[in-house]
Structure 1
Amino acid sequence: MAKLQKVASNASTGLRAVNGFQSFLRQTSRIIKPNAEKVFFDWGLLIFLTGFLLGRAFILAKILPFILPFFASVYMMKRERTGLAFISLMIGAVTVSIENVSYAFSTIVLFFIFNIFFSRVKRHHIGLVPFQVFLSVFISHLGIVYLYQQQLIMYDVLMASVEAGLSFILTMIFFQSVPLLSVPKRRQHLGVEEIVCLIILLASIVTGTTDWYVNNMSIQHIITRYIVILFAYVAGGTVGCTVGVVTGLILSLASVSSLYQMSLLAFSGLLGGMLKEGRKFGAAAGLLIGTCLISFYVEKQTDIIFSIIESVIAIGLFLLTPSILLKQLAKVVPGTDEYSSDQQQYLRKIRDLTANRIVQFSNVFEALSSSFSQPSQYAKMEDELTDEELFICKISNKCCNSCLKKDHCWSNHGERTYNYMAEMMDLVERDKLIKNGQFIRDWGKYCQRSVKMADLMKEEVFYFRANQRLKKQVQESRRLVAEQLLGVSKVMVDFAQEIQREKENHQIQEEQILQALINFGIDVNQVEIYSLEQGNIDIEILIPFENEYGECQKLIGPILSDILKETVVVLKEESSKIPNGNYLVTFGSDKSFVIDTGVATAAKGGGFISGDAFKIMDVGAGKHAIAISDGMGNGERAHIESNETLKLLQKILNSGIEETVAIKSINSILSLRTTEEVFATLDLAMIDLHDASAKFLKIGSAPSFVKRGHHVFKVEASNLPIGIIDEFEVEVVSEQLKAGDLLIMMSDGIFEGPREVENYEMWMKRKIGELETNNPQEVAELLLEEVIRTNMGDINDDMTVVVAMVNRNLPEWTSIPAYSVMAQ
Structure 2
Amino acid sequence: MGRTEIGLHSYRTVSISSTRDKKNIFNDLISLSNISWPLFFCGVFFGRALIFNELIPFGIAYYAAVRTLMQRKEATIQLIGVMLGLITIINQATISPYLAGLMLLFLVGDGPRNKEKNYHYWLLWIAVSFILIRGPIGYVFYPVPMNWFNTVFETGLALAIYSLLHHLFHSGKAYVLAPTQIQLGLLLIAAVLGINLTVYGISLRYVICCYLVLGAAKIGGVVLASVMAAGLGVISILLNEPISFGTLLIGIGVISGLISRLPGGIVLGGVIATLLIQGVPVQPSNVPYIFIIFLAAGLVYLTPGHLLRQLERVIPGTELYKERQITQANKIRGILERKLNQSANVFDELANTMKTKSKKGKDVLLVEQLSGIADIVRSLSFQMQPQVEFSEEIEGKLIQHINSPDLKELTVIKSYDGYDIYGARNTPCNGKNWCQNVTEISSQLLGSSYQVAANGCITEGECSFRIEPKPEYRLEVKMAKVASEGVSGDSNMVFQLSSGKIALLVSDGMGKGQQAANESTAAVRLLEKLIRVGYPWDVAIRIVNRALLIRSAEEMFATIDLAVVDLQNGLVEFVKIGSAPSFIKRGRDIEIVRNRALPAGILKDVDVEQDRRLLKEGEYLIMITDGILDSQRHIIHKDQWFCRILRRLDPSLDTQELSKELMKICLEKSSENRDDMMILVAKLIRDDGDIISYRRKSSAV
TM-score (structure 1 length as normaliser): 0.42
TM-score (structure 2 length as normaliser): 0.49
Larger relative CO (CA 8 A, sep 6+): 1 or 2?
Answer: 2
Structure whose CA Rg is larger: 1
